[in-house]
Structure 1
Amino acid sequence: MGESPAVPAGAPGAPGAPGPPDGPSPRLRRRLGTGDAVVVGLGSMIGAGVFAAFAPAARAAGSGLLLGLALAAVVAYCNATSSARLAARYPDSGGTYVYGRERLGEFWGYLAGWAFVVGKTASCAAMALTVGLYAWPERAHAVAVAAVVALVAVNYAGMRKTAWLTRAIVAVVLAVLAAVVVASLASGAADAARLSLNADGADDGAGMTPGGVLQAAGLLFFAFAGYARIATLGEEVRDPERTIPRAIPLALGITLAVYAAVAVAVLSVLGSAALGGATAPLADAVRAADADWLVPVVRVGAAVAALGSLLALILGVSRTTLAMARDRHLPPVLAAVHPRFGVPHRAELAVGAVVAVVAVTADVRGAIGFSSFGVLAYYAIANASARTLTPAEGRPARIVPVVGLAGCAVLALALPAVSVLSGAAVLAAGAAVYGVRRTAAARRR
């Protein structure tokens, strides 16, 4: 596809220009280059999950934790490749909501959008509460609301400020993780024997099983899923046909290297059994490495990482809300774009308000198991959409979306039963809402 001719700023049809009252929603402004897009992806993936995800994964997989990480990386690579090709073809806000709608039909796009908005709104509330619990446990709910208000204000002021804040957050988190890895591997407590697949017998671990490895992969995949944020922000990326296919694999590759280093470090110090029983695995690892001075640093890093996750989540949910509002699956008033800042300000305010209310009224940390199931369903639809691309449209190698789709299905069903049941219930509720709306619209005709 060739580049479109430049449109003067402020002219009708220019990015961010006001549209006619009864016409299409104005477009967002393309301000993100490759570096910015990579940083947004890193901010989404290297978040609070890296400080907590390895414990439940080790409980599930035992000494097969690294196998689970490798399997999650393969599925993530397939999903990232499919998403990148689709985002280059459809560089609009909404990610898989748009791809499913355009390639598979309105229902599948709607279902992907529903799974993302509902699941990730709960994830936003959980991340906000996590920030509060790390920063000031006695006032966790108040801090959670303050964090939501502050990040919505940053997002409201435009993508430039959001990208700069994300860059600062990523730098802090990477520095903390590097300190944990160096302190752990340089200590006398590190033992390479704990990395072997038969190490469970030596440390009384639960043992490695194929089902456990699959469940660990499903849990770890959730931590990788933030690369979709780059695709979701496709309408705000400069030269999307070149930038997005570069930024997504770069962000994913860096994240995989970081996760692998952290996994090797904590596993070599703690072993799979102790890691699986840890409530704060990275803090436990530095204690075992006789680096107690790092414990408060890890705590600060976890709070900053949760803040970064929350920032990226609000970005993704608000952009998908914008796309669904444009198609009237959500109130059309949410499709407004700020004439000065070029952001979906009403969608951001609405998402922020809902997240703040949920964070202050409920403890949702243990009630969002459906989010893992929902994100796998979301990517399954992305892979199915990529499978319909033609070579002229930039279709990936045929095996990529097939492996991605099969991997999403297997990992979703391998999740704990509560996550599968709650996730299926959320998808069924979304399908029911869609059916009721379609029936009501048909009767009005």
Structure 2
Amino acid sequence: MRGPQARSLQRSLSLGDAVTIGLGAMVGAGVFAVWGPATAAAGGAVLLALALAAVVAICNALSSAALAARYPSAGGTYVYGRERLGEVWGYLAGWCFVVGKTASCAAMAMTVGAYLVPGAERVAAVVAVVLVTALNLAGVHRSVAASRVIVSVVACALLGVAVAAVWPRPSGPLLDPARLVAAPESGWGVLQAAGLLFFAFAGYARVATLGEEVRDPARVIPRAVVIALGAVLVLYAVVGVVVLGVLGPAGTAASTAPVADAAAVVWGSGWAWVVRLAAGLAAVGALLNLVLGVSRTTLAMARDGHLPQVLATVAGPQGVPRVAELGVGLVVLVLVVVADLRGVIGFSSFGVLLYYAVANAAAFTLRREWSVGAWVPVLGLAGCLVLVVALPRTSVLVGLAVVAVGAAAYLLAPFGRRGPGEGRSGS
């Protein structure tokens, strides 16, 4: 008989719910903040970098969808790597996801403060983390409902900027197509920009990590991943064209809030606050869904003895992993107080790209069982590794150090690791 810590999560999420969670995780602060540093790296070829990041994201999404259909339990690539490649690869994937996405949580919280409460960013970030953690503790359906509202508001604001940018004016169009075509300053800069832009795409993993809470996961999860990523690809392409076409490469690279600055040009400075509000809401939505995904992977790793067993507790009428969510919230609060926004974005990209590298390697072992083709995980794996190497040097060095800490923890402090078949996630 299951003890209280081994209690299963409830399968209650529909296709629409799963798509909403994926959209809420991807349509976050990344689309508002990442254009500046990406354009600084790639210059006028930032749209080429976006295309490269999109190709890697599509391969990762297809690999993740195939694996999620085969292993519909909480934990995402942590489970896939463990089952297809061996326990150590699953553990390392889970470790990279937890630490990388915990950094993303801090980045989202800090973005909330930067956009909504300038001058008191860290205080506002702390409040955001506390409120989001409390909402997640109330149950996943309330989180889905909040995400649906946030995604709708943010998408309307972004599309409103796009429509205003191309609207005919007596003085001529504000969007200059000539600014969209430029030779890259360097191939390495384009690769680095693609790695930074990948930060804005990585939310589709949230659908897979919720596999134990989705109804008919073998059918729903692949569809949800493809639908959410496809919608976000279109939205990001539109936003990139508008920002670059209105501000130009130099203006975009110099801006700390390029979407808001583009809105100030096309709407007038008096209305730029609408985009700032949308950016704050987007960051809240991303934070909401990030905490969901990180806590579920933490739950899966604790079930298998790689983290303290208390983190595997599922409690309450909604079947919520409360201890894991509280633990994640506490770590994010610490990072919010001590971390730097640019640093956590680079580190998050490092961890998430390695996470997807394991996912693609695991998906390659399914090459005889799915129809997409073996080239998909091969291209995805190669893309992840190239973008990891191209990230800023500090991010790479810090990331390697954290991975080494995780490997040492696996060897030296297994928290009572279980034997084969004991307490497996979703069992």
TM-score by length of 1: 0.89
> What are the Cα deviations for residues 139-168 of structure 1, in whole angstroms up to 9, with x where unaligned?
333322221121112111111111100000
| Cα distance in 2 between the residues matched to 1:338 and 1:290 | 48
Instruction: Give the SS at the match of 2:199.
Output: helix
Say whether 1:419 aligns with 2:395. Answer: yes
| Cα distance in 1 between the residues matched to 2:393 and 2:40 | 16
Q: CA distance change for structure 1 residues 140 and 274 in 2, over 3 Å: closer, same or farther?
A: closer
Instruction: Give the SS at the match of 2:215.
Output: coil
| Cα distance in 1 between the residues matched to 2:132 and 2:63 | 30
Aligned to 1:284: 261
Instruction: Give the SS at the match of 1:137.
Output: coil
Aligned residue pairs total 413
Aligned to 1:388: 365
Say whether 1:362 aligns with 2:362. Answer: no
Aligned to 2:408: 432
CA contact (8 A) 1:122 1:364 kept: no
Q: Out of 177, 180, 184, which is 2:158 matched to?
A: 177
Aligned to 2:32: 51
Any residues of structure 2 matched to 1:3-152 within 5 Å, and which? Answer: 19-20=2-3, 25-152=6-133
Say whether 1:408 aligns with 2:384. Answer: yes
Q: CA distance change for structure 1 residues 230 and 290 in 2, over 3 Å: closer, same or farther?
A: closer
Q: CA distance change for structure 1 residues 163 and 290 in 2, over 3 Å: closer, same or farther?
A: closer
The CA deviation at 1:391 is: 3.0
Q: Out of 211, 221, 224, which is 1:234 matched to?
A: 211
CA contact (8 A) 1:158 1:341 kept: yes
Q: Out of 174, 179, 193, which is 1:189 matched to?
A: 174
The CA deviation at 1:185 is: 2.4
Q: CA distance change for structure 1 residues 439 and 227 in 2, over 3 Å: closer, same or farther?
A: closer
> What are the Cα deviations for residues 169-224 of structure 1, in whole angstroms up to 9, with x where unaligned?
101111111121122222632111111134xxxxxxxx532112111111111110
Which letter does structure 2 place at the counterpart of 1:325?
A
| Cα distance in 1 between the residues matched to 2:144 and 2:60 | 24
CA contact (8 A) 1:190 1:289 kept: no
Tell me the percent identity: 58
| Cα distance in 1 between the residues matched to 2:64 and 2:415 | 32
Aligned to 2:282: 305
Between structure 1 and structure 2, the one with the greater Rg is 1
| Cα distance in 2 between the residues matched to 1:169 and 1:290 | 21
Aligned to 1:345: 322
| Cα distance in 2 between the residues matched to 1:52 and 1:32 | 30
Which letter does structure 2 place at the counterpart of 1:39?
T
| Cα distance in 1 between the residues matched to 2:159 and 2:299 | 37
| Cα distance in 1 between the residues matched to 2:61 and 2:311 | 28
Aligned to 1:335: 312
The CA deviation at 1:260 is: 0.3
The CA deviation at 1:376 is: 0.4
TM-score by length of 2: 0.92
CA contact (8 A) 1:183 1:291 kept: no
Aligned to 1:201: none
The CA deviation at 1:395 is: 6.3
The CA deviation at 1:132 is: 2.1
Q: CA distance change for structure 1 residues 158 and 399 in 2, over 3 Å: closer, same or farther?
A: same
Say whether 1:248 aligns with 2:229. Answer: no
| Cα distance in 2 between the residues matched to 1:410 and 1:215 | 9
Q: Which runs of 5+ in 1 are unaligned?
A: 1-11, 13-18, 199-206
The CA deviation at 1:227 is: 0.3
Which letter does structure 1 place at the counterpart of 2:275?
V
CA contact (8 A) 2:306 2:416 kept: no
The CA deviation at 1:390 is: 5.0
| Cα distance in 1 between the residues matched to 2:99 and 2:371 | 30
Which letter does structure 2 place at the counterpart of 1:340?
P
| Cα distance in 2 between the residues matched to 1:440 and 1:114 | 17
Between 1:323-332 and 1:347-356, the stretch displaced more is: 347-356
| Cα distance in 2 between the residues matched to 1:260 and 1:358 | 31
CA contact (8 A) 2:307 2:414 kept: no
Which letter does structure 2 place at the counterpart of 1:99?
Y
| Cα distance in 2 between the residues matched to 1:20 and 1:41 | 31
| Cα distance in 2 between the residues matched to 1:237 and 1:62 | 42
| Cα distance in 2 between the residues matched to 1:365 and 1:337 | 32
Which letter does structure 2 place at the counterpart of 1:417?
R
Between 1:279-288 and 1:310-319, the stretch displaced more is: 279-288
Q: CA RMSD in A?
A: 1.9
CA contact (8 A) 1:185 1:268 kept: no
Which letter does structure 2 place at the counterpart of 1:36?
D
Between 1:363-372 and 1:103-112, the stretch displaced more is: 363-372
Say whether 1:399 aligns with 2:371. Answer: no
The CA deviation at 1:26 is: 1.2
| Cα distance in 1 between the residues matched to 2:405 and 2:97 | 13
> What are the Cα deviations for residues 370-425 of structure 1, in whole angstroms up to 9, with x where unaligned?
21111100000000000111534x36410000000000011111111111111111
| Cα distance in 1 between the residues matched to 2:316 and 2:174 | 57
Which letter does structure 1 place at the counterpart of 2:32?
F
The CA deviation at 1:127 is: 1.6
Q: Out of 248, 267, 281, which is 2:244 matched to?
A: 267
Between 1:186-195 and 1:40-49, the stretch displaced more is: 186-195
